[in-house]
Amino acid sequence: MKDFGGTEISVLLNGGPIQEGFRQIVIPHVEEKYNMTINSSVAFTSEQMSQARSNPNNPPDAFNMDVIGVAAGNREGWLEDLSAHADALANWDSIHPKLRHEDYGHAGVSWQIGEVGPVLNTGTGVWDAGSLPATQDAIFRNCRDVSMTPFSWTNGPYTLLLASTIATDNGKEYFQSSDVDVEAGFEYLRETLARKNTTTITGESQLRNMIGSGNADTIPSIYMFGMIDVWQNVDDVTFARNLDPLSIPIAESLGVAAESDNKEAALAYVNEAFDPEIQRRLSQFMGTGTAVEGVENQPKAREFGAPTPDEFDNLVWPDFDYVSENRSQWSNRWSQIFG
């Protein structure tokens, strides 16, 4: 085990319980084990991508973001191929292969698994706790007071492509394709969500407050573990899972900057997130599924309903390269509908 002699690295953390979990569990462990200092700051995936692009010669040493950021980092060359450093990543072989993201050049590796989908408050009179909706279409059509994330969050494109899939009566393969009829999706959103009492939030705390208080009966799309504290404290808050025609995964991922001056230390930091004991602690703290073979989801994650690796296979992502190519123009259209 190497002593890094007080080396300082800078890392970006995604928001909400992710930054809490890493600051409480991962970072102190790594600092003590390797004698290094980790300076962390919080930024959502889109903000992390912007920082990487705007500071190519002076990037943060490590990133923590959605897989859409891994795809961008691979495509644009600002994330390191982690498979080239398997010798420095002692836990590499124990990580579920599907979470090493070979399709995106091993530019990131996911340290947890979860689900993106609707959060519902059953105390508002809109939803029946004993008979939750089975389809995404029922969520869009029957919600009343809606709290939505900005389109700049990954949930924005997810919602558009899901609406397009519903509107054209298609399924998983269509959602994953690079030939989606987004015009049909925008029209569907005009006919459904745009006619509701919708509020676009500015931060996660606002989402939690609105759904927890009942001022919103529905969040159509959010990474579910971000709402786990509300679920723990408000009996009426629940989640609609495994919906027809599809549900979407989340797998927060760690990556190392290709131009990092502290690559060895950054790799040590990434590796420790996959230590079996760290995986157990993160799963229990956040209610998320584990990423390492032989490490089961912890009690809190099981109670919360976090997917196992086998269940994760039933969830589908869109084509992230297709999303990135079109995101800007889609954003302009989204603004015309939701402001």
Residues 268, 141 share a domain:
no
Q: Quote the pLDDT of residue 216.
A: 98
DSSP, res 228 = H
Residues 244, 198 share a domain:
yes
Residues 186, 264 share a domain:
no
pTM over 0.85: yes
Q: Which domain holds residue 282?
A: 7-113+251-306
Query: Of 277, 275, 257, whose CA–CA distance to 266 is shortest?
Result: 257
Residues 327, 211 share a domain:
yes
Query: Of 57, 98, 30, whose CA–CA distance to 251 is shortest?
Result: 98
Q: Is the residue at 1 inside a domain?
A: no
Q: Which parts of 149-300 are beta strand (E)? A: 197-200, 218-223, 237-239, 248-250, 253-256
Residues 136, 146 share a domain:
yes
CATH at residue 199: 3.40.190.10
Main-chain phi, psi angles of 225, to 5 degrees: -65, -15
Q: Quote the pLDDT of residue 217.
A: 98
**Peptide bond just before 97 cis, omega within 30 deg:** no
Sign of CA dihedral 67, 70, 74, 80: negative
Q: Quote the pLDDT of residue 16.
A: 87
Residues 180, 85 share a domain:
no
Residues 215, 90 share a domain:
no
Residues 126, 108 share a domain:
no
Residues 203, 329 share a domain:
yes
Q: Quote the pLDDT of residue 150.
A: 94
Residues 50, 122 share a domain:
no
Q: Is the residue at 312 inside a domain?
A: no
Q: Is the residue at 311 inside a domain?
A: no
Q: Quote the pLDDT of residue 273.
A: 98
Write out residues in the chain with pLDDT < 70, as ranges: none
Give per-residue pLDDT as tens, 164-208: 999 999 999 999 999 999 999 999 999 999 999 999 998 889 999
Residues 256, 243 share a domain:
no
Residues 234, 270 share a domain:
no
Q: Work out how many domains the chain is built from and give that number.
A: 2
